[in-house]
């Protein structure tokens, strides 16, 4: 049933949001050199890699300088990219990932292999479900970039503090998941975005 709802709602979302998708694509193209979309390898269900799709919010080649974004004014982020990130519009292309079955609307946010390789055995169940566009951790760590900005060693803080907290929230989702909880998470995600 969840897969059917994912197909229906991602399909409707892509149709309804198509004017916004086109407008954002145009703004990215005129704002800086490089492709409209950013593809990155993430780890999905059962530990299988897939390409996550996002609107490009950084200057081309910025990911070579680090995987974590530090602060909401990271100098690698383009002018339009700042607003796309702030209002989560950069995530909209992931509706294609949902439509084609690599992701779900709600589920643990997919990580890059580098961090998944650090998962303890107790967290492997997080990989038993499809990753999602939003989840408990996305809401709880809405200001992750700002938390990392204040750290002396952002990556160390991410690995030792933020990642374990995210994984505990992901485990909670996996163990308690239901269509009703998915609906609540989606509503809370919208509330969080509109509140900022």
Is 90 exceeded by the pLDDT of residue 142? no
Is 70 exceeded by the pLDDT of residue 71? no
Pairing relationship of beta strands 49-55 and 37-43 according to DSSP bridges: antiparallel
Measured distance CA(169)–CA(137) in Å, rounded: 6
pLDDT of residue 151: 81
pLDDT, average across residues 55-71: 75
Is 90 exceeded by the pLDDT of residue 67? no
Is 90 exceeded by the pLDDT of residue 72? no
Measured distance CA(92)–CA(165) in Å, rounded: 25
Q: Which two tokens stand for residue 191?
A: 């509330």
Is 90 exceeded by the pLDDT of residue 51? yes
Q: Which two tokens stand for residue 22?
A: 């086109």
Instruction: Compare 54 and 120 and report the one with higher pLDDT.
Output: 54
Mean pLDDT of all residues belonging to the chain: 91
Measured distance CA(173)–CA(187) in Å, rounded: 15
pTM assigned to the model: 0.89
Spatial contact of 166 and 122, defined as CB atoms under 8 Å apart: no
């Amino acid at each position: 049933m969840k897969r059917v709802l994912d197909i229906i709602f991602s399909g409707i979302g892509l149709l309804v949001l198509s004017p916004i998708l086109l407008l954002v694509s145009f703004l990215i193209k005129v704002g800086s050199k490089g492709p409209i979309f950013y593809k990155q390898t993430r780890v999905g269900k059962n530990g299988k890699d897939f390409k996550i799709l996002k609107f490009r919010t950084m200057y081309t080649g910025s990911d070579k300088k680090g995987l974590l974004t530090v602060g909401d004014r990271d100098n690698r982020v383009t002018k339009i990219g700042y607003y796309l990130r702030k209002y989560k519009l950069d995530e909209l292309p992931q509706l294609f990932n949902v439509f084609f079955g690599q992701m779900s609307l709600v589920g643990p946010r997919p990580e890059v292999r580098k961090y998944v390789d650090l998962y303890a055995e107790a967290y492997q169940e997080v990989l038993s479900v499809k990753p999602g566009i939003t989840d408990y951790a996305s809401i709880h760590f809405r200001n992750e970039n700002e938390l990392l900005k204040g750290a002396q060693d952002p990556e160390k803080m991410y690995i030792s503090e933020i990642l374990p907290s995210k994984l505990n929230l992901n485990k909670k989702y996996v163990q308690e998941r239901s269509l009703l909880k998915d609906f609540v998470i989606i509503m809370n995600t919208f509330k969080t975005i509109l509140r900022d």
